[in-house]
Chain A
């Protein structure tokens, strides 16, 4: 079985400051990792994904994440946040590639303070 832990349920950050949202996973086999963003009253949208290759993955809206196998982490980062980044962020893991059964974390609410 696989699981995802997002330790921070809420993260307030000042505008133009950097941010890191933490994600740790557990799985007995190889994993594929994802970050999704959910804006208020909307569905989820893919920010970035790690399938294989380079451990540093770049996504949309200036976000990036680094896959760290030894620490079983996939933290999301952005060097300078904007008001429009206010949203709920979900980390997800799959080890069933081709049958995208994603297991989601409980989400982190990112609030940008003007």
Chain B
């Protein structure tokens, strides 16, 4: 039973399209995150939600819109996709104060 699951695992799309990635965690954690890993493996936080409330919003284009319908889900919608959006997007979750993030397996987005 996967702890943090993301769908889809692979996504290939054309520039200008809109796409979504979904994330669910069954660990009972109260905080969820989106990280972006670029082609050089560099990981950077994009967003964080605690109990459905946005608490971290890094300098991310507003074409990216996260949505947390409940504590166990955090989705990422991307409008007007650009070539530079190609990356692996990781969802993660944590229990506040525990000092450990649990990551999903990633969603590899390729924009053509």
Q: Taking beta carbons and an 8 Å cutoff, which residues of A are in contact with B?
A: 32, 34, 36, 38, 41-46, 49, 51, 88, 90, 94, 97-104, 106-107
Would you list the 8 A-B pairs with minimal beta carbon distance, nearest first? A43-B103, A104-B43, A44-B103, A98-B97, A107-B41, A43-B105, A100-B94, A46-B100
**Contacts A43-B103, A104-B42, A107-B41 known; 5 new A-B pairs at CB < 8 A:** A36-B103, A97-B99, A101-B48, A103-B45, A107-B43
CA distance in complex: A41, B9 (Å): 10
Cβ distance B85 to chain A, nearest Cβ, rounded Å:
19
Q: Is there contact, CB below 8 Å, between A106 and B94?
A: no
CA distance in complex: A32, B101 (Å): 13
Q: Taking beta carbons and an 8 Å cutoff, which residues of B are in contact with A?
A: 4, 31, 33, 40-45, 48, 50, 55-56, 90, 92, 94, 96-106
What A residues does B96 contact at CB under 8 A? 98-100
Cβ distance A13 to chain B, nearest Cβ, rounded Å:
19
Q: Is there contact, CB below 8 Å, between A102 and B50?
A: no
CA distance in complex: A32, B100 (Å): 11
A-B contact pairs, 29 of them (CB 8 A): A32-B99, A34-B100, A41-B105, A41-B106, A42-B105, A43-B4, A43-B90, A43-B104, A43-B105, A43-B106, A44-B43, A45-B103, A49-B99, A49-B100, A51-B99, A90-B43, A97-B97, A97-B99, A99-B48, A99-B55, A99-B56, A100-B48, A100-B98, A100-B101, A101-B45, A102-B101, A106-B42, A107-B41, A107-B43
What B residues does A34 contact at CB under 8 A? 99-100
Most buried by A among B101, B105, B106: B101
Q: Is there contact, CB below 8 Å, between A100 and B99?
A: yes
Question: Which of A46, A51, A98 makes the CB contact (< 8 A) with B101?
Answer: A46
Q: Is there contact, CB below 8 Å, between A44 and B99?
A: no
Cβ distance B10 to chain A, nearest Cβ, rounded Å:
10
CA distance in complex: A51, B33 (Å): 21
Cβ distance B73 to chain A, nearest Cβ, rounded Å:
17
CA distance in complex: A102, B100 (Å): 10
What B residues does A41 contact at CB under 8 A? 105-106
Most buried by A among B41, B42, B44, B90: B41
